[in-house]
Amino acid sequence: MKPWLQLVLLTCICLFWQTEAEFFTSIGQMTDLIYAEKDLVQSLKEYIRAEESKLSQIKSWAEKMDVLTSKSASDPEGYLAHPVNAYKLVKRLNTDWLELENLVLQDTTNGFIANLTIQRQFFPTEEDETGAAKALMRLQDTYKLDPETLSRGNLPGTKYRSSLTVGDCFGMGKTAYNDGDYYHTVLWMEQALKQHDEGEDTTVSKVEILDYLSYAVFQFGDLHRATELTRRLISLDSTHERAGSNLRYFEKLLEKEREDKSLNKTVAPTEPVVQGGAYERPLDYLPERDIYEALCRGEGVKMTPRRQKRLFCRYHDGNRNPHLLIAPFKEEDEWDSPHIVRYYDVMSDEEIEKIKQLAKPRLARATVRDPKTGVLTVASYRVSKSSWLEEDDDPVVAKVNRRMQQITGLTVKTAELLQVGMDVSYQDERPFDSTLKSEGNRLATFLNYMSDVEAGGATVFPDFGAAIWPKKGTAVFWYNLFRSGEGDYRTRHAACPVLVGCKWVSNKWFHERGNEFLRPCGRTEVD
């Protein structure tokens, strides 16, 4: 067995409820932040109106007093000769100016500050901001997007275009730097520097950008460029101590390199591998990353015409299930081996909205069990949020479960609860688990797509190169086990990150127990 398959066999995908928001993992939950921010804007406008009203009163008072004092100061004795003027002067200084003082000291911020304080407890944390930045970098890597494309907001299918400022790009670079990710540090600091050089207004200085960029470039072993960037930094700020120290160190290394070359010594190469003007992306720990990302981009295996001829569309009545004889489902072959089919019009819009409504308050981020320690941890590559719905939660859940049973011909009595996922994105999902004893292994997967996705979000199968794209109201179905009960490792699948849009799915895992006669054993191990 391949080493990565052994690793997958040891990895147990689990779920647990988390108390922290982790907004970055879910567009659905971030919609609440939109309304919170809108409420704060309204509160801020009320504060501004109150301030403007106060300033208007003060301005009116100042203008009136300016006219009055101009007249009185031109002839003080003549002005005070009138007894009413004398009285009014005393009254103004004793009473009216005191009222003005109270008006000036009046605090109109109370309402806004109180609202802000209440809302702040629901604000994203620094962890959320870091997670959001990493999520953007993951999209960048998966779909081969350069920082310029992301910064300008040139994404397919976007209704609301948005761009990143110099400060935003600098923040992305800092997040990568703090994580020891010098590859993305260089990319985003270079983009920040480019936009700064183009004259974009910002509070971030070139010195700050060059400080991070020069060190990140040095981490790639590019001494010549690191030296060049550091010299540029010093030309802008000659008192920068760290830059001066770094420059002396870099020049010393370059001098040593020249000396070694002159003595014909073998010198380790200092020039990094560069691809398309950027440094080579480091390898990571996830197996088959390149295949996975290629499939997400739609660069998967293309079926030969001969194999395509084996794919058909038909009406499916669930082996003459009485409930489907009059209204069979439309069935389409997505892949021949292993056999993957798609069903159309499985869930109505009303059912989808109800399922989403039930699931949203219960969503929790998925975790994985570390194969070495056995501890549940949040994986950076699994950022979906899921919840589980029981039939007692709502009649719609029971109705959807019955429909899946009718379509597949398998019993839901031993199946797992209906799992609802939002913004699903993970890698290396093993669809069967030999540790499940009571109800047997996961026999089959029924996956409902509950939303359309503008870009990204495919379900991919790295072993044979298939990519299944979301279509709202449809469902895909496949068997995870051969008829012998042995796991079909080809069904190991992954969900691609959503580039534009929001992805909702629900799935049902059918188990072996109760289906022995509904799907009997085959004659060979791989039937």
Burial class (CB in 10 A: 0-12, 13-18, 19+), 175: buried
What would the DSSP string read from start to end of 321-372? Answer: -TTTSSSPEEEEEEETTTTEEEESS-S-HHHHHHHHHHHGGG-EEEEEE-TT
First to last CA, the chain: 20
Contacts of 433 (CB under 8 A, 6+ apart): 12, 441, 442
Residue 13: closest CA among 416, 522, 331: 416
Strand-pairing partners, residue 387, are: 420
Task: Give the separation between CA 416 and CA 436, rounded to whole angstroms.
Answer: 11
Written as one string, the DSSP assignment of 366-394 is EEEE-TTT--EE--TT---EEEEE-GGG-
Residues contacting residue 32 through CB under 8 Å, at least 6 positions apart: 122
Please list the rounded mean pLDDT of every run of 10 residues in the chain (527 residues): 35 33 56 87 93 94 93 89 84 88 87 86 84 90 93 82 91 95 96 96 95 95 94 95 94 88 64 65 77 91 87 94 94 95 97 95 66 52 75 96 97 95 62 63 96 94 93 97 91 91 93 92 77
Spatial separation of the C-alpha atoms in residues 310 and 417, rounded to whole Å: 34
Let me know the angle formed at the C-alpha of 462 by 461 and 463, rounded to the nearest 5 degrees: 95
Q: Is residue 346 within 8 Å of 474, Cβ to Cβ?
A: yes
Residue 81: CB atoms within 10 Å: 10
pLDDT at residue 80, rounded to an integer: 86
pLDDT in the model for residue 274: 61
Q: What number of other Cβ atoms are within 10 A of residue 147's Cβ?
A: 25
Please check whether residue 404 is in contact with residue 412, taking contact to mean a CB–CB distance below 8 angstroms: yes
In whole angstroms, what is the distance from residue 233 CA to residue 211 CA?
7
In 111-224, where do the E strands start and end? none
Whose structure tokens read 């944390």? 125
Which amino acid, one-letter code, is at 473?
G
pLDDT in tens, 46-79: 999 999 999 999 999 999 999 999 999 999 988 8
CA 175 to CA 319: how far, in whole Å? 55
φ, ψ at 2 (rounded to 5°):
-65, 150
| Dihedral-angle region of residue 145 (phi above 0 means left; psi in -120 to 50 means alpha; beta otherwise) | beta
The span from the CA of 226 to the CA of 231, in Å, is 9
The residue with tokens 């590859």 is 183
In angstroms, the CA 229 to CA 208 distance is 12
Token pair listed for 208: 């700050």
DSSP labels, 434-474: TT--SS-SEEEEEEEE-S--SEE--EEETTTTEEE---TT-
Degrees to nearest 5, angle at CA 424 with 37 and 420 = 90
**Could you tell me if 280 and 445 are in contact, meaning their C-beta atoms sit under 8 angstroms apart?**
no
Q: What is the 3-state secondary structure (H, E, C) of 36-100?
A: HHHHHHHHHHHHHHHHHHHHHHHHHHHHHHHHHHHHHHHCHHHHHCCHHHHHHHHHHHHHHHHHH
User: d(Cα 104, Cα 101) in Å, to the nearest integer?
Assistant: 5
Question: Would you say 500 and 159 are in contact if contact means Cβ atoms under 8 Å apart?
Answer: no
* Distance in angstroms (rounded) separating the CA atoms of residues 498 and 478: 23
Taking CA atoms, 269 is separated from 230, 255, 257, 265, in Å, by 21, 14, 10, 12
CA distances from 289 to 8, 372, 381, 383 (A): 14, 21, 11, 16
Residues contacting 145, CB < 8 A, separation 6+: 139, 155
Is 422 in a helix, a strand, or coil? strand
Amino acid at 309: K
* Residue located via tokens 């054993």: 521
Give the pLDDT score at 215: 95
Burial of 362 (0-12, 13-18, 19+ CB in 10 A): middle
| Residue appearing with tokens 């040095």 | 218
Contacts of 491 (CB under 8 A, 6+ apart): 338, 431, 432, 445, 461, 463, 478, 479, 480
Tokens 């796991």, located at residue: 487
Decide: helix, strand or coil at residue 292.
Answer: helix
